[in-house]
Amino acid sequence: MNKFIRMNILPRLLLLTVGLAFTLSFVSNGHADSITFDLNYEFSGGQSPVGDPLPWLRATFTDDTNSVLLKMEAVNLTAAEWVKEWYFNFDDTKKVNDLVFTHQDGIKASINRHEPQLRAGGDGVFDFKLQFPSAKSKRFGINSTSIYLITGIDGLGARDFDFLCEVKGQKGIFTSGAHIGSIGKNAEGSGWIGATPVPEPATIFFLGTGFLGLFVFKKRCR
């Protein structure tokens, strides 16, 4: 390799290295890395919520300073429908009982851990759930939100909640599940809805940009 080629390639290599380091830093330290769960299908054989389009519910875990912010939203429930219970998973290598939940805004719930098991719809076993009030004036229903700050463990991050429940039934495995009440014309039905993880668009974009830069650099070197 002659001196001219080395002088042209080295600055590009340095630029690519800096770019990839910035990308990985953005994703991992995230300028708020986050995980979103859209609850969009009924899995128990009960009644599906009426709201359309999907999803009915959305939960977002977002990195904060050594903590995680959990935001739960009723994206598309009808006027009568409400959330009785909302279930989530946690990293099995850490202790769910060490988590501290501090209510920030919206509807307040009671927190329950897996003692001994938290089964959603007779199916998967989850690590913790939020139990919402049943009184009509305090229900988690149409257009409701509930926000909690989660602390208690060093290095806690949104990815610690991106796990599947333990399988106990035949319906499948879920990252999150919820029990919806007062479904249907007479508000007498109920159903269990589930979710699978959806990566944040920003994370996909920056990762894709980094790998695209690597591909272009290799192509030019050839």
Token reading at 42: 């009924």
Q: Which fold has domain 34-199?
A: Immunoglobulin-like (2.60.40)
The percentage of the chain sitting over the pLDDT mark of 90, rounded to a whole number, equals 58
Span 150-157, average pLDDT: 97
Taking only the tens place, the pLDDT of each residue in 96-125 is 999 999 999 999 999 999 765 788 877 788
Taking only the tens place, the pLDDT of each residue in 4-20 is 444 454 444 344 443 44
Taking only the tens place, the pLDDT of each residue in 86-99 is 999 999 999 999 99
- Sign of the dihedral through C-alpha 65, 157, 107, 203: positive
Q: How far is CA 44 from CA 14, 52, 74, 99, 172, in A?
A: 54, 19, 20, 29, 10
Between residues 31 and 107, the one the model is more confident about:
107
pLDDT tier for residue 29 given thresholds of 50, 70 and 90: very low
